[in-house]
């Protein structure tokens, strides 16, 4: 299934330095070089989940070490390691040393011989990639994942492996002597070939087809379908034969469930998603299973109201709990009853489901500053908690595998080990989860029905389900189209998560075991109460299905079977396409302009290849009412100039052959159709007459008439002429065909070809047809001769100009770049219009005097977005070059109206600069536009004209800030052309007076804000906020420096008293006392990487975070699930 969405490249996974097996490792991202796949598993389901269980031997594992010298001087966008072999397969590592369109090292594992492997290949591997820290091995950055490699996804890994700023920093230890060491641990499992697998035959069940990114929905639908009570209720929802599945959720769900019950092959879900009101784009957005479950059940509950199955959703899934607050010292208790359809259980910090329930009912003490206001009793110590009044027959447990990490301001997936039992006893420990009013006669013992699994990372992945439909010991895995039998170990233990250890199988090299985080783990559990088992796992048969539904679906099945049979017997038949004068009249000037007919729109006959041709003619006589003696068939031929014309009549000998033989004579291509032109002649009284005898000298010509005033081309008929004759001799006949006066002067043109360009030439009326090289099937276009002098203007005065126009015309939809979803206006242009023609037409439409102020941006047909780079001034020759995207032609362009002409703008460099005022908090964002040869000094002078300075003679400087550290002060002489403002922040600020007059022993130091977080028992420093410079004087104590910092930052005393101060070098804090002399900690001379020695201000980060609401479990930055109908 797949992720498609498209994940913008700037949405990096905010992964800081990770030690091996860190629980902060997030999901892998596909290599993005073309249209990015949407999920981490392709739609044909050759994914890790679908085959990992088919391992038929222990995995083979090995480590490959790649040493890359002169790393910082590499000038290639990407590079591959040497090929290495694991498990009999060839692999290599692929890296992007400067990032794959991100500010991170990008690294992937690649199938080295993918280009030469046979169709349908796939292989599964667990692997880790690492950049070795050559100073401290504990700081090695290592990430692991798993993937099913196939033709569509032959490489897999991490687009945002580690920040380039860390990799290229010589003090960090990843580059030593400009050498980088990369390690790849790869473990391969052999897998069973699934191409011939038959789910129904092997398991008795069928799967659901994936529409692109709908495996999350498929796993939920299978789970719901296998709750027979729920399925029966869906069948009993009232629908009628007049309903359309795509417009009725109940009917679409009934249809889907019926097919799952009775089909022999996997079932499509398009009808259902259309009934949700989803378009294709929604089907390519990966959503949250839990959210879809809730929305779908709410929608069904609403649709069931007022029907015989009203209340089914509540009966199955609804439970109740009681929220209470109870005072400790006075007799006061507040309670509130609430219902739930599913329970969200914590995974982090809980070893199993019972631990999560313990946490759910944990009592919170309200005391101290947090006392409870108990009405007339005032503030009181109290205890607060939740207890359950009743549990539902079907208990849905949503495991909180995805959490929002406030420290890192991003979503993370919790891959910790988390156990769940086959039997769940919620009456344990004397009913500690139950409220006092709970009915203790109900036995809350549950048995596991299904396990929904998520495999992958935070920004996408694959879903599948383990289900035991009848609660026996036999489990089944439902993975989109495929259903396989599984054992209880695979359904339970292997979905607990945590780590898996694989033995090293390359003795003598490195015998440390491989540990892989298991990215496949349970995400939702469905339990059924044992006492309700017989009621819920009930029989559902045809009598539960409405008759109109049975009839409709059986008819669908028969039609499908007919199609299948049709395909199976196709090799016994030939399709004969018969074009007639009527088709030419109908199509020319409407559907087509060149050649004679679109063969896909003519009458076709499916005829057994063994039928003699004369019997086929009898079929035609019956179907078209044209007796056999009046039929003459011509065979079509493709000419060298790519036109397609009737070439010659069939001979009597050919007509005696079978249809199959004739087809092979006419077209050598396998399974090709037989295309014929049926010539039918009519006498003066329009009665059918036999075709005239054709001798060698006779030529069959076709005629089109052009009207320049109406800009209209139409077919008017065909004639036989003698090759020795001249066009002059047929002018009267042509006037008759056109309805003109007999003596009307007309001009004749031969339509010769139209690919790659139009060729239509004037025909000499006095030259013989043979001299003009006219032959059977040729097309003559004619029109009235225009009067010699006329004021009347027509756009296309003759046939060649009109055909040229038709060939090149192109409707283009223009959209304003800032509103890329809305068409603003359409223009009819020509594909061969020049760049200037196009911008002139746009400017004219916008009433703009200067077309050079128009800037156009092309359209990406895959992402349906503007391409990242606009079209440079006159950089393309023609409109068609603007519209082509790979092998597609778009009809969309985006426009901007610039304030200066585009040629001028292209000579300028635009920099986005944040100006920090000496006394104001808010930064001002400026767009500075200067000629490319300008310097930083010119930028600073320009800024002075745009901002308010603290005093007129203030001096400015320009800094490069990245991840809350100052990396560079730009020299005023530096050219701006190569300054990158896309990834780093450019900050301009006034230089404080104290920095201008530094004493001999004064120091200018970096001061950064930081917090600490612990991961894998290792403390990591996280910088935040605005970094700044500070002058420290010789002998100055921390207490004195603190006073100046507090004044500079204007922090209140109460807040400032909580701050800690530390000297940091290479990320390690050394805390300072008030009496410490600060200057002794800082080296006198400037060193490369000065930003890594700084005075750190440790305090909590109070800067506003990205707003985060909706389900706390939503794990992608996505639209919410909506069902519209």
| DSSP secondary structure code for residue 522 in this structure | E
Q: Is the dihedral of CA 436, 440, 445, 446 positive or negative?
A: negative
The pLDDT of residue 837 is 93
Per-residue pLDDT, averaged over 478-493, amounts to 88
The pLDDT of residue 247 is 75
How many angstroms separate the CA atoms of 222 and 453, rounded? Answer: 13
pLDDT tens digits for range 282-340: 444 445 666 777 778 887 888 888 888 888 889 999 999 999 999 999 999 888 899 99
What residues have CB less than 8 Å from 624, skipping those under 6 apart?
Answer: 580, 603, 678
Per-residue pLDDT, averaged over 891-911, amounts to 89
366-381 per-residue burial string, b: 16 or more CB within 10 A, e: under 16: beeeeebebeeeeebb
Q: Which two tokens stand for residue 378?
A: 């005032």
DSSP codes of every residue in 70-138: SGGG---S-EE---EEETTEEEEEEEETT-SSSSEEEEEEEETTGGGSPTT-EEEEEEEEEE--SS-GG
Indicate the SS3 state at residue 1086: coil
577, β-bridge pairs: 604, 675
Helices (H) and strands (E) in the chain, counts: 28, 56
pLDDT tens digits for range 842-890: 999 999 999 999 999 999 887 788 988 899 999 999 999 999 887 788 9
Whether 50 has a pLDDT exceeding 50, the answer reads no
Phi, psi of 851 (to 5 degrees): -60, -25
pLDDT tens digits for range 955-993: 899 988 888 888 888 888 888 887 877 667 888 988 888
DSSP codes of every residue in 786-824: PPSS-----S--SHHHHHHHHHHEEEEEEEETTSTTS--
Indicate the SS3 state at residue 436: coil
Stated as kind and residue range, the H or E segment containing 782 is strand 779-784
Stated as kind and residue range, the H or E segment containing 573 is strand 573-579
Contact yes or no for 842/827 (Cβ under 8 A): yes
pLDDT tens digits for range 635-665: 998 888 889 999 999 988 888 998 888 877 6
DSSP codes of every residue in 217-239: HHHHHHHHHTSHHHHHHHHTS--
How many angstroms separate the CA atoms of 961 and 968, rounded? Answer: 7
| DSSP secondary structure code for residue 546 in this structure | -
Indicate the SS3 state at residue 329: coil
The pLDDT of residue 288 is 61
Phi, psi of 1027 (to 5 degrees): -75, 160
Q: Which two tokens stand for residue 267?
A: 């079932």
The pLDDT of residue 242 is 74
The pLDDT of residue 312 is 87
Whether 617 has a pLDDT exceeding 90, the answer reads yes
Which residue, 963, 1064, 937, 962, is CA-closest to 1005? 1064
How many angstroms separate the CA atoms of 614 and 617, rounded? Answer: 5
Contact yes or no for 666/613 (Cβ under 8 A): no
Catalytic (active site) residue 571:
no
How long, in residues, is the chain? Answer: 1125
Catalytic (active site) residue 462:
yes
pLDDT tens digits for range 659-689: 888 877 666 554 568 999 999 999 888 888 8
How many angstroms separate the CA atoms of 36 and 101, rounded? Answer: 13
Contact yes or no for 291/398 (Cβ under 8 A): no
How many angstroms separate the CA atoms of 258 and 541, rounded? Answer: 10
Confidence category of residue 626, pLDDT binned at 50, 70, 90: very high
Contact yes or no for 419/353 (Cβ under 8 A): yes
pLDDT tens digits for range 59-72: 688 899 999 999 98
DSSP codes of every residue in 861-930: TTTTEE-SSPPPTT-SSBHHHHHEETTEE--EEEEEE-SS-HHHHHTEEEEEEEEE-SS-SSPEEEEEEE
Contact yes or no for 631/680 (Cβ under 8 A): yes
What residues have CB less than 8 Å from 303, skipping those under 6 apart?
Answer: 237, 249, 250
Q: Which two tokens stand for residue 966?
A: 């100052």
Q: List the catalytic residue out of 64, 180, 215, 226.
A: 215
The pLDDT of residue 459 is 59
Indicate the SS3 state at residue 769: coil
Q: Which of the listed ranges 757-761, 785-789, 1022-1026, 1085-1089 does the model predict with the highest average pLDDT? A: 757-761
Whether 694 has a pLDDT exceeding 80, the answer reads yes
What residues have CB less than 8 Å from 848, skipping those under 6 apart?
Answer: 842, 854, 897
Q: List the catalytic residue out of 462, 833, 859, 1099.
A: 462
How many angstroms separate the CA atoms of 445 and 391, rounded? Answer: 10
Which residue, 667, 677, 744, is CA-closest to 705? 744
């Amino acid at each position: 299934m797949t992720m498609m969405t498209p994940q913008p490249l700037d949405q990096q996974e905010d992964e800081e330095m990770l030690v091996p097996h860190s629980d902060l490792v997030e999901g892998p991202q596909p290599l993005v070089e073309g249209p990015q796949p949407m999920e981490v598993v392709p739609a044909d389901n050759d994914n890790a989940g679908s085959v990992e269980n088919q391992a038929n031997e222990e995995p083979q594992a090995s480590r490959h070490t790649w040493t890359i010298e002169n790393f910082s001087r590499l000038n290639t966008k990407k590079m591959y390691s040497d090929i290495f072999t694991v498990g009999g397969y060839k692999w290599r590592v692929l890296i992007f040393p400067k990032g794959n369109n991100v500010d991170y090292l990008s690294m992937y594992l690649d199938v080295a011989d993918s280009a030469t492997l046979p169709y349908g290949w796939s292989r599964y591997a667990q692997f880790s990639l690492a950049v070795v820290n050559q100073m401290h091995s504990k700081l090695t950055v290592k990430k692991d994942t798993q993937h099913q490699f196939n033709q569509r996804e032959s490489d897999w890994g991490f687009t945002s492996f580690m920040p380039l700023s860390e990799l290229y920093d010589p003090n960090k230890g990843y580059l030593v002597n400009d050498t980088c060491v990369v390690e790849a641990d790869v473990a391969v499992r052999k897998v069973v070939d699934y191409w011939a697998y038959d789910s129904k035959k092997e398991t008795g069940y069928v799967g659901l087809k994936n529409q692109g990114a709908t495996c999350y929905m498929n796993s939920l639908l299978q789970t719901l379908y296998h709750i027979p009570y729920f399925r029966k209720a869906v069948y009993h929802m009232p629908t009628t034969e007049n309903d359309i599945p795509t417009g009725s959720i109940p009917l679409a769900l009934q249809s889907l469930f019926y097919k799952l019950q009775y089909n022999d092959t996997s079932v499509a879900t398009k009808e259902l998603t259309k009934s949700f009101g989803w378009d294709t784009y929604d089907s390519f957005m990966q959503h949250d299973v839990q959210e879809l479950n809730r929305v779908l059940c709410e929608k069904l509950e609403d649709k069931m109201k007022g029907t015989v199955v009203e209340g089914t959703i509540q009966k199955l899934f609804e439970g109740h709990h009681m929220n209470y607050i109870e005072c400790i010292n006075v007799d006061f208790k507040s309670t509130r009853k609430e219902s739930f359809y599913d329970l969200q259980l914590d995974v982090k910090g809980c070893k199993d489901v019972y631990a999560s329930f313990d946490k759910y009912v944990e009592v919170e003490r309200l005391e101290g500053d947090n006392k409870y206001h108990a009405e007339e009793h005032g503030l009181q110590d109290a205890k607060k908690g939740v207890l359950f009044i009743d549990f539902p027959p079907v208990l849905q447990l949503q495991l909180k595998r995805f959490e929002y990490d406030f420290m890192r301001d991003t979503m993370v997936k919790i891959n910790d080990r988390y156990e769940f039992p086959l039997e769940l006893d919620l009456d344990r420990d004397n009913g500690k989860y139950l409220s006092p009013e709970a009915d203790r006669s109900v036995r809350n013992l549950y048995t596991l029905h299904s396990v929904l699994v998520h495999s992958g990372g935070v920004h996408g992945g694959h879903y599948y389900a383990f289900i035991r439909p009848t609660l026996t010991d036999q489990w089944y895995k439902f993975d989109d189209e495929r259903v396989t039998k599984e054992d209880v170990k695979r359904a339970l233990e292997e979905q607990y998560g945590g780590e898996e250890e694989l033995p090293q199988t390359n003795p003598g090299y490195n015998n440390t075991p491989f540990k892989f985080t298991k990215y496949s783990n349970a995400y939702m559990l469905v339990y059924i109460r044992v006492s309700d088992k017989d009621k819920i796992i009930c029989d559902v048969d045809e009598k539960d299905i409405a008759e109109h539904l049975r009839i409709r679906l059986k008819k669908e099945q028969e039609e499908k079977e007919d199609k299948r049979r049709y395909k199976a017997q196709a090799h016994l038949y030939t399709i004969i396409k018969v074009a007639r004068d009527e088709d030419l009249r109908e199509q020319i000037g409407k559907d087509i302009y060149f050649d004679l007919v679109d063969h896909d729109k003519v009458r076709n006959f499916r005829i057994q290849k063994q039928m003699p041709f004369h019997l086929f003619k009898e079929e035609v006589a019956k179907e078209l009412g044209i007796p056999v003696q009046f039929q003459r068939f011509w065979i079509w031929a493709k000419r060298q100039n790519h036109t397609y014309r009737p070439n010659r009549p069939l001979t009597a000998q050919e007509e005696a052959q079978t249809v199959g033989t004739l087809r092979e004579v006419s077209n050598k291509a396998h399974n090709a159709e037989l295309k014929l032109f049926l010539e039918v002649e009519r006498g003066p009284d329009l009665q059918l007459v036999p075709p005239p005898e054709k001798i060698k000298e006779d030529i069959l010509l076709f005629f089109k008439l052009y009207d320049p005033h109406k800009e209209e081309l139409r077919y008017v008929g065909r004639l036989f002429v003698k090759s020795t004759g001249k066009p002059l001799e047929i002018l009267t006949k042509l006037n008759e065909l056109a309805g003109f006066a007999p003596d009307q002067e007309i001009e004749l043109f031969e339509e010769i070809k139209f690919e790659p360009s139009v060729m239509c030439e004037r025909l000499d009326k006095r030259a013989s047809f043979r001299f003009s090289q006219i032959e059977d099937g040729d097309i003559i276009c004619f029109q009235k001769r225009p009067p010699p002098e006329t004021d009347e203007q027509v756009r296309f005065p003759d046939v060649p100009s009109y055909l040229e126009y038709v060939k090149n015309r192109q409707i283009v939809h223009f959209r304003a770049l800032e509103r890329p979803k809305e068409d603003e206006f359409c223009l009819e242009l020509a594909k061969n219009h020049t760049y200037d023609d196009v911008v002139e037409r746009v400017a004219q439409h916008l009433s703009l005097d200067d077309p050079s102020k128009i800037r156009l941006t092309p359209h990406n047909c895959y992402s349906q977005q503007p391409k990242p780079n606009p079209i440079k001034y006159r950089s393309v020759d023609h409109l068609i070059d603007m519209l082509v995207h790979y092998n597609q032609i778009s009809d969309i362009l985006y426009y901007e109206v610039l304030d200066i002409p585009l040629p001028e703008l292209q000579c300028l460099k635009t920099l986005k600069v944040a100006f920090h005022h000496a006394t104001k908090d808010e930064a001002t964002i400026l767009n500075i536009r200067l000629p490319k040869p300008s310097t930083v000094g010119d930028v600073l002078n320009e800024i002075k004209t745009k901002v308010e300075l603290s005093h007129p003679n203030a001096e400015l400087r320009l800094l490069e800030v990245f991840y809350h550290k100052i990396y560079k002060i730009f020299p005023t002489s530096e050219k701006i052309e190569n300054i990158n403002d896309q990834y780093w922040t450019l900050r301009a600020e006034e230089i404080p007076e104290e920095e201008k007059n530094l004493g001999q022993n004064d120091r200018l130091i970096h001061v950064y804000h930081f917090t600490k977080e612990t991961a894998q028992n290792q403390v990591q420093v996280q910088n935040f906020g605005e970094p700044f410079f500070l002058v420290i004087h010789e002998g100055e104590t921390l207490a004195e420096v603190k006073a100046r910092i507090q004044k500079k930052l204007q922090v209140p005393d109460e807040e400032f008293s909580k701050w800690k101060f530390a000297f940091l070098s290479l990320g390690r804090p050394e805390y300072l006392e008030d009496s410490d002399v600060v200057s002794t900690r800082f080296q006198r001379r400037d060193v490369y990487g000065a930003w890594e020695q700084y005075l750190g201000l440790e305090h909590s980060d109070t800067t506003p975070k990205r707003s985060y609401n909706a389900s706390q479990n939503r794990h992608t930055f996505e639209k919410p699930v909506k069902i519209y109908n």
